[in-house]
């Protein structure tokens, strides 16, 4: 019997990647009511220390209470020339570039921003295709454990702000019921109903519970409810979304917070107008889910100029992007993602090399060199879709 021949194979050695020096543009946000900034002076300092060049548009951080001087002292170049900022090979924003900004973008640019699938237009995708851009959404970028750090950070802020807003509009000065959120000896506690046991609902429940309010949480997922009870406490009232039980809880509560997750891009409406009509006079609804349509039938988008309205004698607060209410905190949380991400990208030798190494980044890519790589974005506009795995 013949012995098999063993053919010597080439030895494959690990090739060290060459760190790149990046040129990063940080423009002033043009989207209405967007007060956050994607890089803080602390993040700029980190990147500059590693040899990167940061071009900041004048006033980019003012809404988050960061001055041009702070960016300059951190090592950034501050300029009033928006076009110069948009010509950087890497563009770091909060909201996706607006229609007025598309012509300023350059070929083969890499764009980091938030992307809300329900607000994307075919014109936006085609503008990026024409520039052969590579675009990533913070909300879909995952960490090593498979979690979305940006979504979690903004949800934590949203949950805490929902309670803060509710406290304001319960007070007498806001023509509310004149109630305090916290428990006072000998006084019945405030009753809070929370729809959703995700991160927003968990943070809101923990704060309200810690203040002494009576908290009731509803969600369609028993797993999320069980996880919330482990975090907040076993004495918390929880229930699945049973309309009859929910209606009774709403009729007795002083505050209702909408924190349900979207399903196929839209938050399910679980509270009907009849349920709202049965709520107590001057009770407060804070619909954090308004970013995806809202979970109360009576919810309508409001602005910071006129944040509330009354319907059936119930105060409604339905301002989208609640995190922008505390823009400095939200910006610092976003910077915790963007600055290390950009440094890692440089250390890997570029975005393509980083994506090849880091599978957890790939879900965040919705366009690669002008090709749409997310099926959910391509199909509604009849655009061709290419799997990112094939491109890499």
- The pTM of the full predicted model, rounded to 2 decimals, is 0.87
Average pLDDT over residues 222-248: 93
* Sign of the Cα pseudo-torsion (184, 185, 191, 195, in order): positive
Average pLDDT over residues 105-118: 91
Q: For residue 392, count CB atoms less than 10 angstroms from its CB and return exposed for 0-12, middle for 13-18, buried for 19 or more.
A: middle
Using the 8-state DSSP alphabet, how is residue 358 labeled?
-
Average pLDDT over residues 272-285: 96
Give CA–CA dist 99/128, Å, rounded.
11
Give me the count of residues in the chain.
392
What is the band of 4 on the pLDDT scale with cuts at 50, 70, 90? very low
The CATH architecture assigned to 152-320 reads: 3-Layer(aba) Sandwich (3.40)
pLDDT digits (tens, 9 = 90+) for 8-31: 445 444 445 567 899 999 999 998
Give CA–CA dist 204/138, Å, rounded.
23
Using the 8-state DSSP alphabet, how is residue 306 labeled?
S
Determine contact, residues 259/195, Cβ cutoff 8 Å: yes
Q: Residue ranges per domain, the chain? A: 23-140+326-391, 152-320
Share of the chain above pLDDT 70, in %: 95
Residue 13, pLDDT score: 47
Residue 119, pLDDT score: 79
pLDDT greater at residue 83 or residue 262: 83
The closest of 299, 54, 38 to 154, measured between CA atoms, is: 38
pLDDT digits (tens, 9 = 90+) for 135-176: 999 999 999 888 899 999 999 999 999 999 999 999 988 888
Average pLDDT over residues 246-266: 92
Is 152-320 the same fold as 23-140+326-391?
yes
Residue 18, pLDDT score: 65
Secondary structure element (H or E) that encloses residue 229, with its range: helix 222-232
Q: How is residue 72 written in tokens?
A: 């300059």
Share of the chain above pLDDT 90, in %: 78
Q: Return the CATH fold of 23-140+326-391.
A: Rossmann fold (3.40.50)
Give CA–CA dist 100/165, Å, rounded.
33
Strand arrangement, sheet containing 255-258 = 237-239, 214-218, 191-195, 255-258, 284-287, 314-317, 308-311
């Amino acid at each position: 019997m013949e012995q098999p021949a063993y053919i010597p194979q080439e030895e494959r050695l690990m090739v060290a990647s060459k760190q790149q020096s990046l040129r990063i543009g940080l423009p002033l946000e043009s989207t209405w009511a967007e007060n956050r900034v994607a890089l803080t002076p602390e993040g700029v300092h980190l990147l500059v220390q590693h040899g990167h060049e940061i071009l900041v548009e004048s006033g980019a951080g003012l809404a988050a209470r960061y001055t041009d001087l702070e960016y300059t002292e951190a090592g950034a170049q501050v300029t009033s020339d928006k076009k110069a900022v948009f010509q950087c090979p890497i563009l770091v924003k909060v909201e996706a570039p607006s229609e007025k900004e598309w012509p300023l973008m350059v070929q083969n640019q890499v764009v980091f921003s938030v992307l809300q699938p329900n607000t994307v237009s075919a014109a936006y995708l085609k503008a990026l295709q024409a520039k052969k851009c590579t675009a990533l959404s913070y909300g879909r970028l995952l960490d090593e454990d498979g979690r979305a750090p940006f979504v979690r950070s903004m949800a934590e802020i949203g949950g805490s702000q929902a309670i803060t807003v509710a406290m304001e509009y319960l007070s007498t000065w806001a023509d509310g019921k004149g109630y305090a959120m916290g428990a006072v000896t000998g006084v019945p506690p405030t009753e809070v109903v929370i729809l959703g046991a995700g991160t927003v609902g968990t943070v809101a429940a923990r704060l309200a519970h810690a203040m002494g309010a009576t908290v009731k949480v509803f969600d369609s997922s028993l797993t999320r409810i069980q996880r919330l009870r482990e975090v907040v406490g076993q004495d918390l009232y929880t229930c699945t979304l049973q309309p009859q039980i929910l209606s009774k809880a709403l009729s007795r509560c002083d505050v209702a917070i909408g924190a349900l997750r979207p399903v196929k891009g839209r938050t399910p409406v679980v509270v009907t107008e009849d349920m709202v009509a049965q709520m107590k006079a001057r009770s407060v609804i804070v619909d954090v889910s308004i970013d995806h349509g809202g979970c109360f039938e009576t919810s309508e988008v409001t602005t910071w100029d006129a944040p509330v309205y009354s319907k059936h004698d119930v105060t409604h607060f339905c301002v989208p992007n609640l995190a922008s209410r505390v823009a400095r905190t939200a910006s610092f949380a976003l910077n915790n993602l963007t600055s290390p991400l950009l440094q890692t990208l440089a250390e890997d030798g570029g975005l393509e090399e980083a994506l090849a190494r880091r599978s957890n980044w790939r879900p965040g890519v919705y366009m690669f060199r002008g090709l749409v790589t997310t099926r959910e974005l391509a199909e509604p506009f009849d655009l061709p879709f290419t799997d990112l795995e094939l491109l890499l």
